[in-house]
């Protein structure tokens, strides 16, 4: 069955959005396979966002991700990668539609609450990076 990696970013954790976000995925019909609250090192955040290392916002993005604990999760279900991205909404909160997580809770692209894998391949890589211990 398809799985995706979802991370509630530090602003989402600090603003008390963990329960709401988990609830949205549960009510949609997806299954929570693994979850942990974790504060990551700079080098780890750089690895997670390695594809964006040439972007001008990369330094700020890494600072943001290491600024506090994040909730790392693996969710399973039919089409969960693409549907998860729809539920999250567009990268820029100004373009994410109301009803999506970013559309409902964010205004800044640099504080956009949540991450979701963008393909089945990147989901596999991200799950291996964040859950090297495997899924119990």
Residues found near ligand ATP in the complex (CB under 6 A): 52, 57, 61, 91, 109-110, 112, 115-116, 118
Q: Do residues 114 and 8 touch, judged by C-beta distance below 8 A?
A: yes
CB of 108 to ligand ATP, least distance (A): 8
Q: Which of 73, 74, 115, 116 is catalytic?
A: 115
27 among annotated binding-site residues:
no
**8: closest CA among 62, 70, 81?**
70
CB of 104 to ligand ATP, least distance (A): 15
112 among annotated binding-site residues:
yes
**Cβ neighbours of residue 101 under 8 Å, at least 6 residues apart?**
21, 24, 87, 88, 89, 113, 114
48 has catalytic annotation: no
Let me know how long the chain is. Answer: 136
Binding site for ATP, by residue number, is 9, 57, 85, 91, 102, 112
């Amino acid at each position: 069955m398809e799985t995706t990696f979802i991370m509630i970013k530090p602003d989402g954790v600090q603003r008390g959005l963990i329960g709401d976000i988990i609830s949205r995925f549960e009510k949609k019909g997806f299954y929570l396979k693994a979850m942990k609250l974790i504060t990551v090192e700079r080098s780890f955040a750089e690895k997670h966002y390695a594809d964006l290392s040439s972007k001008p916002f990369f330094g700020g993005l890494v600072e943001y991700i290491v600024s506090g604990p994040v909730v790392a999760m693996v969710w399973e279900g039919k089409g969960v990668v693409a549907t998860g991205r729809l539920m999250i909404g567009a990268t820029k909160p100004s373009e994410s539609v109301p009803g999506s997580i970013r559309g409902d809770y964010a205004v800044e692209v640099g504080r956009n609450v949540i991450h979701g894998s963008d393909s089945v391949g990147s989901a596999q890589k991200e799950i291996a990076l964040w859950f090297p211990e495997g899924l119990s």
